[in-house]
Amino acid sequence: MAEKLLVVDKKDRIIGAESKEKCHQGRGILHRAFSILIFNKRRELLLTKRSRFKKLWPLFWDNSCSSHPLKGESYKVAGQKRLKKELGFSCKLKLVDKFFYQARYRNIGSENEICALLIGKYNSPEIKPNSKEIVDWRWINLKELKKDIRQDSKKYTPWLKIDLRKINYRVI
**Domains delineated in the chain:** 4-120+127-166 (3.90.79.10)
Neighbouring C-alpha atoms within 13 Å toward the C-beta of 11: 2
Cα distance between residue 76 and residue 57, in whole Å: 24
Contact 96, 36 (CB under 8 A): no
Per-residue pLDDT of the chain (172 residues; tens, 9 = 90+): 578 999 999 999 999 999 999 999 999 999 999 999 999 999 999 999 999 999 999 999 999 999 999 999 999 999 999 999 999 999 999 999 999 999 999 999 999 999 999 999 999 988 999 999 999 999 999 999 999 999 999 999 999 999 999 987 656 6
Q: What is the pTM of this model?
A: 0.94
Q: Which residues, at least 6 apart from 38, have a Cβ–Cβ distance to it below 8 Å?
A: 45, 46, 64, 65, 83, 91, 119, 120, 121, 122
3-state SS, residue 129: coil
